[in-house]
Structure 1
Amino acid sequence: MAGIKEGIGALPGRVAVIYLTPAGGVLAERLERELPEKGIEVEVLPPTADPAGLVRGCWGRYEGLALIMAVGIAVRLIAPLLKSKWEDPGVVVVDEGGKFAVSLLGGHWGKGNSLTRLTASILGATPVVTTATDVQGRQAVDTLARGWGMRPVPRELVKRVNGAILRGERVVLYTEWALPERCRLPGMEVVPWRGDGAALAAAEGRPVLITSRLPQAALSGCLCLCPPSLAAGIGCKRGVSAAEVEEALNQALRRAGRRRESVAVLASHEAKVDEVGLLEVARKWGLTLVFFGAGVLGRILNENPGLADSEFVRQQMGVGGVCETAALAAVPVGELVLDKTRLGRVTVALAEAGLLWSESGLALRRI
């Protein structure tokens, strides 16, 4: 099935390699040959008279940059482009002798540390990683989140949780998902959670919560890691605006008590493939947009007798229901958390996946 299949992996998907000298070009060729073996799309960009412009043109287009040059030069080239740790790519700098690979930027969220270690392994270089959790041999909470495609909310609490991990303080992870043993942070307690706010209110230490649910009063001060587990199935009138779709989605999420940060997919009937309002919302929210034919949607309708089934919709679309069936088609082992809801000229249903996968193939199962 299309839709929610894999969480965001530990390595960047697209990497630009930039070098300045012939010696650097030799190293670039090695990276070009071997990085794709790890599933990374690589583009090597040869020297130009305007290296600053070259780096600027790559910024925002690649998840990672490998700069083969002196660290000082690299710092001057990227400095005007920096925005935040949540937006900047991972940057590794390699000296032209291939002796050191330095994680310069985006070590955790930008996957710079993992890119640095892989680059060093390929070139036979020494990896230089200076983030505090890595230096102490601990895993940062944002690294855990990034590996599964989870979004930390509120982001400012990430620093506090990582600080607690570094100080050896008690950190308790409450989760609606069965976290594999090998993915757990050393020293972090893991407690199954099924929506009980009172348990969090009484928690000692620093609580972290893996959930798609909207916050309750009891969750104040708790870092939430929002998994990419929700698919929104959409039915709509022809010519519906992006504002209408967005408002319907926001209302649907509030009714379901679910977070916008956990929505990963918009799904609809293939007849809506050119619906501008859907395309604009998917682009604005950074969502995958998938469309299914009447055959796929009809099969799901037949397998789930309780779904909305309208003869009028069948005459128009070739299947008796769109939003619920599309939402379920987009998630593996999913279930509806919001039935078909009509909101103006839009119908919305929300389904939550029962499985998520990491790039390494580990499964995360909802409890």
Structure 2
Amino acid sequence: MKDNRPLAVVVVNEAGFAPGAAVAEALGAFLYVPVRLSVVQPAPPRPGAVVGYEGSAGNVVRQLFGEGRGLVLVMAAGIAVRLLSGLPEDKRRDPPVVVLDTAARYAISLLAGHEGGANGLAYRVAAAVEAEPVVTTGSEVHRTLVVGLGCRWGAGAPAIMAAIERGLALAGRKKNDIRVVATADFKAGEPGILEACSALGAGLRVFGREAIRGVDRLFSESRCARKYFDVGGVAEPCAFLAARNGRIILPRLVADQVTVALAEDRLWSPGSGRGTPST
């Protein structure tokens, strides 16, 4: 991006207000909404975070894009593409753009994915509203490893990184194979996990208890996770959920204060089929 000003979340209709507000609050971004919505809709808790605009959303997007502001466009991808028409110049200089549909199902890294940081932004947006991040850049697609993480409260980044490195060694894999780190929503704010993601250059996928309970029966149960969080585990279920049609290649490994599991995406190829992933 061209400057360090806050991200901008742009909404075009009432359907996008709620997910846009949730993303703006989670990411510390400004929420740009049509004036009519800024008056009748409840604002996010941060004072001054909502900017009402008059006229077309295209004018707002052009202004923010020209300022180098990272953008989250809460709208259909087709609308976003039309609003951005003629604006991109260079993938090394353009600001990152992520599109979030109004149902908060998919957070799509649309522009400046790798160089500009839109891939990482897509993961952050997805985590804010429990959406599926969609990243299509070649460098991302060919990184196929998912790290599932659980940890005790306050576990530091050095301990987390040591556990990940131990797991990678056991699986015969490398750090640059890692596509994403996955954990439960009640662990998503752990500074150690966030620092580890930053050190690895990986996004963070977050799953709620309901999603975890849907698959935790497939794995060995953690008594601690069941007692304190009412789920069967964290590392293995989250790794499994984040993998693309994948499988667990390293079951739950307990290392001091950290639990690690590794899963691998299964990339599509002709004749590969779409069978149920093995565990």
Task: Output the TM-score relative to the length of structure 1.
Answer: 0.39
- Kindly indicate whether structure 1 or structure 2 has the higher relative contact order, using CA contacts under 8 Å at least 6 residues apart: 1
Q: Which structure would you say has the larger Rg?
A: 1
In the superposition, the TM-score normalised over structure 2's length comes to 0.50
